Amino acid sequence: MIDLQGRAALVAGVGPNIGQRVATLLAQSGAAVVCVDRDRETAGRCAALVAAEGGKAVPVAGDVASPAGVSAIFEEVADRVGVVDALVNNAAVSVPRGILDTSYEDWQRVLSVALTGTFLMSQAFARALVAAGRPGSVVNVASTSGHRGRKNAVAYCSAKGGVLNLTRAMAMDLAPHRIRVNSVSPTKTGPALADDGTTTRDFSEIPLGRLGTPDDQAHAVRFLLSDEADFITGLDVRVDGGTLATWGTRSYASAR
């Protein structure tokens, strides 16, 4: 079992899907967790869930897309926790529009959270570690949408593609400081809420024949943060059921 005793991890974007499960799994493995979200109630719910399971968690509300917001986050973290040595960048928003319909405001909003937010949080995290002379690890949550085009997701695809190369560039910059930087690329994870209130999601393009789960992503994140991945940096782990190994045009569900 992966042991994170003595580690302190900051998880940014702790809504009830991937981020929340990452936070609870890291805590179950012994890490103290800082649950960061722009929504104060979401951060509080995640921290309460960790505490209810016997873990250690601190909720922090803040805006990862703003330099001032990120500074405030890390000031509060320093006061309440000290220096954290693990960072998970999961904060993101999506606007379901294509190139013809995406406004400048939509474009800026998506990129400011998913890409600029990842940059700002990673920079503040790395600067604190370098100043303390300590090693650490970053995991960025990318997406299969960052590897390929997808209809009606021009801003999201662009932001996640940026996250993938930002990960590689940061890994090169931070390697001399013993700070590893990797990413995971989820496919469709968890149910989607349809307009009629039902949860439905097509997974016919996923070769393993099911949707991803928050557990799938959380276990990959935990591994990359752990000492077991000590010689891994600059890598994207595709936790996608084989989605990116295909053209994405064949229905695998009908063949099973």
Residue 83 predicted with pLDDT over 70:
yes
Report d(CA 34, CA 37) in Å as an integer: 10
Residue 178, domain CATH: 3.40.50.720
Residue 162 lies in a domain: yes
- Find, among 190, 189, 72, the residue nearest to 124 by Cα: 72
144: left (phi over 0), alpha (psi -120 to 50) or beta: alpha
- Phi and psi at 228, nearest 5°, equal -65, -20
Residue 123 lies in a domain: yes
Report pLDDT digits (tens) over 163-207.
999 999 999 999 999 999 999 999 988 765 444 444 567 888 899
What is the model's pTM? 0.93
Residue 1 lies in a domain: no
**Confidence at residue 166, expressed as pLDDT on a 0 to 100 scale:** 98
Report d(CA 118, CA 46) in Å as an integer: 20
What b/e sequence results for 106-142 when a residue is b if at least 16 CB atoms lie within 10 Å of its CB, and e otherwise?
bbebbbbbbbbbbbbbbebbbebbeeeeeebbbbbbb
Residue 93 lies in a domain: yes
What percentage of the chain has pLDDT greater than the value 90? 88
**Confidence at residue 42, expressed as pLDDT on a 0 to 100 scale:** 97
What percentage of the chain has pLDDT greater than the value 70? 93
Tell me the range of 49-53, 243-247, 251-255 where mean pLDDT is highest. Answer: 49-53
Mean pLDDT of 130-151: 96
Residue 212 predicted with pLDDT over 70:
yes
Residue 156 lies in a domain: yes
Mean pLDDT of 225-246: 96
Report pLDDT digits (tens) over 85-139.
999 999 999 999 999 999 999 999 999 999 999 999 999 999 999 999 999 999 9
Mean pLDDT of 141-146: 96
Number of domains in the chain: 1
**Confidence at residue 197, expressed as pLDDT on a 0 to 100 scale:** 47
Residue 3 lies in a domain: no
Q: Which domain holds residue 120?
A: 8-255
Residue 246 lies in a domain: yes
- Find, among 121, 244, 225, 123, the residue nearest to 180 by Cα: 225
Residue 2 lies in a domain: no
Average pLDDT score, the chain:
93
Residue 240 predicted with pLDDT over 70:
yes
Catalytic residue flag (residue 104): no
Catalytic one among 156, 205, 229, 237?
156
